[in-house]
């Protein structure tokens, strides 16, 4: 199993915490290999200095930089292995997550985090929306049974009008809405074209009354649960602009997650 983390000089503390978290909660930590896709020289040198495996991306800022990291990820997939793409500010919330994922990948081609449905805290009711109820680039795991050869680059300045039933079913958006072309926006097209079964993790906000782990009181954060309601993954968001455990939204997120994990 190989985990790919996109990082930069601003997110190195998140990156190091993420690596420690996923290994400490794995049943088989010796089988968890990490590749860090580094957006700048500082992050590359940091990973190498700690004995890690680092790859330099094409760089860029914001969504373009993230998309460049995804391009690097897709070109570095380890054949015959489950390949995971993770944001640096994602955390596992269950012991043995690697065994759970291995079992899921036997039946599903892709498992992962999802975007918020229309009408939510961040999504709102805007006419332009991300795709829904399919894994996204925040955290996902790819089965080795597919080549995953699609273009992950973003095109945020040009939304795609959902004007047919086929587009509606591909992106899980109502006809009349438009698709916000975030990095990896073409993944649903690849999934549909290749008839791939996906396992979308349940999107849970901390104040929804359904959160069991990320009880931070901040709906900026997200808890992702398995179908049976088990907390599996957490995502802070905003790591590029929020200093690790110094910004309020970072401190409350990690405090809540650690409080839950201590009792596992």
pLDDT band at 61 (very low <50, low <70, confident <90, very high): low
Quote the pTM value: 0.96
Mean pLDDT of 128-133: 96
Query: Which range is least confidently modeled, 95-99, 119-123, 186-190?
Result: 119-123
SS3 call for 125: coil
Percentages helix, strand, coil for the chain, rounded to the nearest 5? 30, 20, 50
Q: Which residues contact 5 (CB under 8 A, 6 or more apart)?
A: 15, 18, 19, 34, 35, 36, 37, 86, 87, 88
Mean pLDDT of 115-121: 89
Please say if the pLDDT value at position 40 is more than 70.
yes
CA 232/CA 229 separation, integer angstroms? 9
pLDDT band at 54 (very low <50, low <70, confident <90, very high): very high
CA 247/CA 193 separation, integer angstroms? 42
Q: What is the CATH number of domain 2-261?
A: 3.90.550
CA 61/CA 65 separation, integer angstroms? 4
203 touches 116 (CB < 8 A) = yes
Please say if the pLDDT value at position 59 is more than 90.
no
CA 53/CA 60 separation, integer angstroms? 21
Mean pLDDT of 58-84: 89
């Amino acid at each position: 199993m190989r985990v790919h983390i996109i990082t930069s000089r601003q997110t190195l503390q998140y990156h190091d915490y993420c690596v420690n978290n996923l290994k400490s909660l794995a049943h088989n930590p010796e089988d968890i290999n990490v590749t860090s896709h580094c957006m700048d020289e500082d992050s590359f040198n940091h990973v190498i200095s700690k004995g890690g495996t680092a790859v330099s991306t094409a760089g860029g800022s914001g969504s373009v930089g993230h998309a460049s990291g995804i391009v690097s990820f897709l070109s570095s997939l380890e054949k015959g292995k489950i390949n995971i793409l993770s944001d640096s500010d994602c955390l596992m919330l269950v012991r043995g997550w690697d065994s759970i994922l291995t079992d899921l990948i036997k039946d599903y081609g892709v498992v992962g985090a999802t975007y918020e449905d229309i009408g939510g805290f961040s999504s709102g009711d805007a006419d332009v929306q991300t795709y829904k109820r399919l894994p996204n680039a925040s955290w996902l795991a790819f089965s080795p049974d597919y080549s995953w050869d699609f273009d992950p680059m973003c095109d945020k300045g040009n939304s795609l009008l959902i004007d047919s039933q086929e587009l509606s079913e591909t992106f899980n958006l109502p006809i009349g809405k438009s698709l916000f072309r975030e990095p990896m926006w073409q993944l649903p097209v690849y999934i549909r074209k290749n008839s791939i079964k996906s396992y979308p993790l349940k999107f849970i906000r901390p104040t929804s009354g359904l959160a069991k782990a990320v009880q931070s009181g901040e709906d900026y954060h997200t808890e992702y649960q398995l179908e049976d309601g088990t907390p599996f993954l957490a995502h802070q968001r905003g790591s590029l602009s929020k200093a690790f455990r110094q910004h309020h939204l970072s401190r409350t997120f990690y405090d809540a997650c650690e409080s839950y994990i201590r009792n596992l």
